[in-house]
Structure 1
Amino acid sequence: MLTERHSDADVPGWWRALGLPGLIDLHVHFLPERMERRVWHHFNHGGPLMGEGWKIEYEWPVEERVTRLRELGLRAFPALAYAHRPDMAADLNAWTLDFARRTPGCLPSATFYPEPGAADYVRRALDDGVKIFKVHLQVGGFDPREAALAEIWGLLADAGVPVVVHASSVPVPGGWIGPEPIGEVLRRHPRLRVVIAHLGMPEYGPFFELARTYERVALDTTMAFTDFAERGMHFPAKLRPALRDLGLAGKVVLGSDFPTIPHPYAHQLHALDRLDLGDEWLRAVCWSNGLAMI
């Protein structure tokens, strides 16, 4: 068991004790340098979407961050980027694909935005081998039910490629967030493989219901159960049985938000470990569920 006395250096011993070959984390970010600096400034200083912000644990050069992920034992991770305005997504996709090609273990990833030509660059991304997409409805400020996205949701449903969707009201309410907008997309595209970021915190219950209802909907653990999240977005005890069942059914995957987190990576794993849901659950969440999606 990992405890607060353990550091990142102890993580490989933890997953080896579970009988795992490593970890698969489906919520990791690497961004073009200029964009990354802006994101880090936002998190460090707060702002309209962040409140007071927080001190970033891994505000390091990119090579050191990649090295740390290898030291932790991550065998697969994406470089999730997301567009917040038109004429941005295609360039981001070119960057993330190049980053994946030159970074062992990095999954090819992409994003999209409701704009002319979006379906075309999503098709190109799929042809280029993209394994996972990311959209952030809060930062992007768009409605997932927009007509411009209908073809894209259909393409992704047919391809079976997961899309990590930030659809909840963390860090602050606003935009087309909450379970209803993305829930309506799922009613139209029930085979869509959506991964709800952050377990849908703080609207855990309604997003858990989406995971129970739709065969391909899952949730990622990003920052959930950590001390930081529990202070303001406590996970309800009544959902623990559902959390265990969904994890064992392949519907909960490891996510961390590395590097832009206010705690060591080891703490995310400690937060999962102290749930005491069993080694089988941890093996599923930290390895096999993610492997099955990519």
Structure 2
Amino acid sequence: MQAHEDVPAVREFWIGLDLPGLFDVHVHFLPPNIQRAVWAVFDSAGPKIGRDWPIRYRQSHEERVEILRAMGVRRFSALPYAHKPGVASYLNDWAAGFAERVPESLRSATFYPEEGAAAYVAEAIADGVDVFKLHLQVGEFHLDDPLLAPVWGVLEDAGTPVVVHAGSGPVPNAFTGPESTRRVLARHPRLALVIAHMGAPEFDEFLALAEDHEHVRLDTTMVFTDFFPATYPADLVPRLRDLQPKVLLGSDFPTIPYPYRHQLDGLAALDLGEDWLRDVCWHNGARLFGLA
């Protein structure tokens, strides 16, 4: 495959920081039929998207893996997310096979408010799943749905991270916002949650949850770009310096409308220092997933 045009700029960024590469905790690889359906939603700029959203990296699975490798994204997730009952196990089986074929990928899984969720989550953890993904906007459920009550105890005891899209961006609905996350953490304060998109647009509320809970982290996905509709408040940026060990690089690759380097430049523009960038772009992910 011919090298993608975005590769040199990304490599220049992490080489300049004297890093071994990048650790991206928010990458999506989905079964082809599900991927086509997701991209159709983005292509239509439908009610769950709310704006035109051209997809920059619309290659095959194999080509996208090679692009990540060439850019120097050494570790990345796959992050399937269930949108209705009965599909989580299918997605998890597919993601397990993907992780076996692609050693750089964290073994990723999902779950949904349904009978038996605690059992298949426990089984996935026993089988070596590294990270789970939930999407409250797409799945249309609250984090403290009664059917999830037994799941949280399993995850709290295991310490397995869960990337949660709980913020109200890009389009709010009745299930988004910090409230249900706050309620779950009140009952399970040791949960290892990674708040996707820094919790946009409820940045302040989710930042406070990360400050108040030892195992709650934030991922940077799409936030510090000129495309993201919610601007990160300037008065919160100094608090990100204090939260340095708990901010993780995320990109939303491949479903982004700009070159991969663009968000890296956005992080650098925060002017929080090279040590902060090194932690966010590599060391924090490596520590969280036991690769330090």
Q: Fold-level match, TM-score > 0.5?
A: yes
Match of 1:234?
Answer: 231
The alpha-carbon deviation at position 243 of structure 1 amounts to 1.3
Out of 253, 259, 278, the residue aligned to residue 283 of structure 1 is 278
Give per-residue Cα distances to partners, 1:213-238, cap 9 Å, x unaligned. 00000000000110101xx3111110
Q: CA shift at 1:253, angstroms?
A: 0.1
Q: 1:182 aligns to what SS in structure 2? A: helix
Q: Kindly tell me: are residues 35 and 27 of structure 1, through their superposed partners in 2, closer, same or farther at Cα, counting changes over 3 Å?
A: same
Match of 1:112 in 2: 111
- CA distance in structure 1 between the partners assigned to 2:238 and 2:37 by the alignment: 40
> 1:103: how far off?
0.7
Cα distance in 1 between the residues matched to 2:222 and 2:236: 17
CA deviation after TM superposition for structure 1 residue 32, in Å: 0.5
Q: CA deviation at 1:7?
A: 4.0
Q: Match of 1:107, SS?
A: coil
Once residues 180 and 102 of structure 1 are traced to their aligned partners in structure 2, the CA distance between those partners, rounded to angstroms, is 38
Counterpart of 2:265 in structure 1 is 270
Q: Which moved more, 1:166-175 or 1:143-152?
A: 143-152
Following the alignment from structure 2 to structure 1, what is the Cα–Cα distance between the partners of residues 201 and 195?
12
| Residue number in structure 2 paired with 1:293 | 288
- Structure 1 counterpart of 2:212: 213
Distance in 1 (alpha carbons) for counterparts of 2:137 and 2:203: 17
C-alpha distance in structure 2 between counterparts of 1:59 and 1:185, whole Å: 36
1:10, CA displacement in angstroms? Answer: 2.2
Identity of aligned residues (%): 55
Query: Does the 8 A contact of 1:183 with 1:210 survive in 2?
Result: yes
| Gaps in structure 1 of 5+ consecutive residues | 1-5
Question: Does residue 51 of structure 2 align to residue 52 of structure 1?
Answer: yes
Q: Is the partner of 1:75 in helix, strand or coil?
A: strand
Q: Return the match for 1:260 from 243, 250, 255.
A: 255
Question: When the two structures are aligned, how many residues end up with a matched partner?
Answer: 285
Pair 1:67 & 2:62 matched: no
In structure 2, the residue matched to 1:130 is 129
| Amino acid across the alignment from 2:241 | R
Aligned to 2:199: 200
Kindly indicate whether the alpha-carbon contact (under 8 Å) linking 1:42 and 1:53 is maintained by their aligned counterparts in 2. no
2 CA distance for matches of 1:75 and 1:157? 28
TM-score if structure 2 supplies the norm length?
0.95
CA RMSD of aligned residues (A): 1.1
Distance in 1, Cα, partners of 2:205 & 2:133:
21
Other-structure match for 1:163: 162
Which residue in 1 is equivalent to 2:243? 246
Q: Which runs of 4+ in 1 moved over 2 A?
A: none
Q: CA-to-partner distance for each residue in 1:11-38, whole Å, 9 max, x for gaps?
A: 2222122121111000000000011011
Shift of 1:270: 1.1
